[in-house]
Amino acid sequence: MASVTFKGVFPILVTPFDDHGNLDLESFDRTVRFMADVGVDGVTIIGVLGESNRMLDAEREQLIKTAVGAGGRIPVIVGTSYSGTRATLELSRVAESLGAAGVMVTPSRESVPNEDRIFEFFQQVAAGISIPIVVQDHPASTQVHMSVPLILRLIREIPLVACIKEEAVPTPPRITALLNGIGDRAVTILTGLGALYGAFDLARGAHGFMTGFAFPEVLLALVRSAQNKDFDTVHEIYHRYLPLIVYEQQPGVALRKEIFRLRGLIASSYVRHPGTNIDPTTAGHLKSLLQKMLPGVDITRPVEV
């Protein structure tokens, strides 16, 4: 198992299906290898973007095995969130036993929201595994609003918590509040949300990205400049690609899958029901936008930024 620092760029991968909705592990393998070639710091699989909530347990195992097998040099983080604590723990154990370098976990909405229950949830999961935990804070998908003091408590009291994937808007002041409170725990903050607030979040001190933007090359360039404290370049790169970032982060997995398809990584952009598949007009607009943003570039190969 690869060790992992949770600094840099961790693309969240889509789960590829064929046109009948069956897992397409070949495409998945190809995608992971491509990411390794691009030079990312790890990949995250079976997240929201990976349609995790539409996946059977057996499929989860196949995806983990494929990613770990293909990842080789790079760590594989596995989304294991589930509506019950024990199931989350068991899925995390499976991930660990199959070679995952970490798990990404987000609490699910209980009928009676309760900060103590959320703490216990993470505590119980941590008690059963020995790989690091990425706490995902994404109320838009979970309907769970974690307060900054709660997240700091998770950091303080649960040693396996190694990273916060911060996606509660507005993210910039939240990142500042977290960094001010972390103290000397070696916990990192990664931003998500398709990199929508990338430059602003890096300026606040975020350590990188864990998100599904389909051009991780851009994110790598952003992080490199941020690590060099060259925030003018961060802004310049961010500004350059911002129309694509904005377009791509629109809700729905289909747009992202279509770009992965255009990049030659997956065979079909099929989304499982009740998700929406891409319509021809939108696919056409996306293609035009890509040509405008990356004129003459062969996007099936790593892009130079």
Nearest to 238, CA basis, from 259, 258, 220: 220
Q: Among this protein's residues, is 229 annotated catalytic?
A: no
Task: CB nearer to a copy of itself: give 114 or 300.
Answer: 114
What whole-number distance in Å separates Cα of residue 39 and Cα of residue 34? Answer: 9
Catalytic entry in 65, 165, 229, 287: 165
**Rounded CA Rg of the chain:** 18
Q: Give me the numbers of helices (H) and strands (E) for the chain, helices first please.
A: 12, 8
Minimum gap (Å) between residue 195 Cβ and a copy of itself: 11
* Cβ distance to a copy of itself smaller for residue 159 or 173: 173
Angle, helices 254-262/280-293, rounded to nearest 10 degrees: 60
Angle in degrees, 0-180, between the axes of helices 57-71 and 25-38, rounded to the nearest 10: 40
CA angle in degrees (0–180, nearest 5) for 213-258-41? 30
Q: How far apart are CA 265 and CA 32, in angstroms?
A: 9
**Binding of a copy of itself at residue 114 (CB under 8 A)?**
yes
**251 touches a copy of itself (CB under 8 A):** yes
Binding of residue 181 to a copy of itself (CB under 8 A): no
Among 156, 267, 272, 294, binds a copy of itself (CB under 8 A): 272
Taking CB under 8 A as the rule, does residue 280 contact a copy of itself?
no
Contact residues for a copy of itself, defined by CB under 8 A: 21, 51, 53-58, 82-87, 90-91, 110-117, 120-121, 124, 139, 141, 145, 147, 168-170, 172-173, 176, 196-197, 199-200, 203, 235, 238-239, 242-243, 246-247, 250-252, 255, 272-274, 279, 281-282, 285, 292
